[in-house]
Structure 1
Amino acid sequence: MLHRQSLAATAAGILLAAGIGATIPAGAGAAPSHPTTPPATAQVVNVRWGGHPTFDRLVIDVRGTLPPVSVRQVKELRADGSGDKVPLAGKYFLEIRLSPAAAHDESGQSVYKGPRLLKIHLPTLKGVALTGDFEGVVTIGAALDTKPVHKSFVLHSPERFVLDIAHPPVGCRR
C-alpha cells in the first residue's frame, strides 16, 4: 500500500511539473486586463514614436472606436484645464486633439501608459507630452525643430492614429 501511495505522489509531482493535470485558465478569478467590450468613450492608452529614413512617426493607441482627431500647429503647448505652459523644447509645436476621448476609465483611474512629458532625439520629433485629459478631450503635444510637414491616417485592429512628420530636405537640416 505504501508503495502505491509513493507512486501516486511521484506521478502527481511529475504531472504538475510538466504542467499537465487539472489546470486553471490564466487569469481565472482575476480581473481581465482588457475589457471584453469596448468602452463607451474611446480611451487613449499609449503614444509611441519611431524614426524612419525620411520621416518620424507618432502613433496614438486607442481602446474602443477611434474618435475624430485634429492636428494643428500652435505657437506653444499649454496644459488643458490649467493653461500652464508645457516645458518641451522646440521651435514648432503640433497639438493633436481626440474628442470625445479619455485617458482614464469610468472610475477615474488612468489607462494611459505612455509618456507624460518626454524629450526625444529624432531628426524632426524632439518631444512628446500628454497635455490634456479634460472634459472628454485628450490632447497630445509634439515638439519639433523644423516647420512640420505631416500627413496622418488611421489603422485598425487595434485602433490607432498615425502621424508621419517629414524630415526636412538634406540641405535644410540644422
Structure 2
Amino acid sequence: MRKFGAGVAAVLAAAGLGLVAPGPASAATYCDITWGSMAKADLDWSSANVTNVRTGQQPCYDRLVIDMTGKVAGYAVQYVPVITQDATGFPIPVLGDADLQVMVTAPSYNQYNQPTYEPAAKAELSNVSGYQTFRQVVYAGSFEGTTSIGLGVRARLPFRVFTLDGPDGGSRLVVDVAHHW
C-alpha cells in the first residue's frame, strides 16, 4: 500500500511540475458553411412593420435580425456595388470591403404614417466593433412599403437568409454572414 501511495504522490508531483503532458486540446469549431454569396429573395407583400434592428455574434457567422410586428412575407438580400438610400437612390458609404443590401417588404411606419422604427443614429444601427465579419449597419430608409438596411462586411462572404416566428404574433428576418468561406 505504501508503494501505491508513493506512486500517486509521484504522479501528482509530476503533474504539478508540468512533466505530465496535458490532454488533447479541444478542436476548433467546424463551420459547415454551404450558403454561397448570390442574391437571395422571396418577394411577397407583408402586413408587418419593422420595429427593431439588432446584431449578434456566433462562432461561425455574424447575425443581423430585423424584428417585425406581424408575419414577414418578402425580402431581397444581395451584394451591391454601393448601398443606396430608398426613394432618392443617393449612395450611402459604409465601412468594409463588400456591401450587402437588405430589403424587407415591411415599412418602418404604420398605416397612419407614424414611425414603428426610428433609429437614433441612421449611420450606426448597431455597434459592431469587434465583430469578425460586420463592419457597419446603416439605415437606408423606408419607402412605399419596403425598408432597406445596408450592411458593410469585411469581404464578399457567404450568407443565408431566413425568417423566424417571433413573440406576440411578430416575426424576424435573419441574415447570417459567415466569417470564412
TM-score where L is the length of structure 1: 0.68
State the match for 1:120 in structure 2: 128
1:63 is aligned to 2:75 = no
Tell me how far 1:148 sits from its aligned partner: 2.1
Native 8 Å contact 2:82 2:93 kept in 1: no
Distance (whole Å) between structure 1 residues aligned to residue 54 and residue 118 of structure 2 = 10
Letter of the structure 1 residue corresponding to residue 141 of structure 2: G
One of 81, 85, 104 as aligned partner of 2:109: 104
TM-score where L is the length of structure 2: 0.66
Number of matched pairs:
129
Tell me how far 1:113 sits from its aligned partner: 4.8
After TM superposition, the runs of 4+ consecutive aligned structure 1 residues lying more than 4 A away are none
In the alignment, structure 2 segments of 5+ residues that lack a partner are: 1-45
Distance (whole Å) between structure 1 residues aligned to residue 159 and residue 145 of structure 2 = 25
Secondary structure of the corresponding residue to residue 115 of structure 2:
coil
State the match for 2:153 in structure 1: 144
In the alignment, structure 1 segments of 5+ residues that lack a partner are: 1-39, 170-174
- Mapping of residues 1-174 of structure 1, within 5 Å: 41-99=47-105, 101-114=106-119, 116-118=122-124, 120-121=128-129, 122-158=131-167, 159-168=171-180
Q: Deviations over 1:83-115 (max 9, x none)?
A: 22113222101111112x210112222111555
- Identical positions, percent: 31
Output the aligned Cα RMSD: 1.7
Distance (whole Å) between structure 1 residues aligned to residue 155 and residue 61 of structure 2 = 12
Letter of the structure 1 residue corresponding to residue 173 of structure 2: F
Distance (whole Å) between structure 2 residues aligned to residue 72 and residue 87 of structure 1 = 16
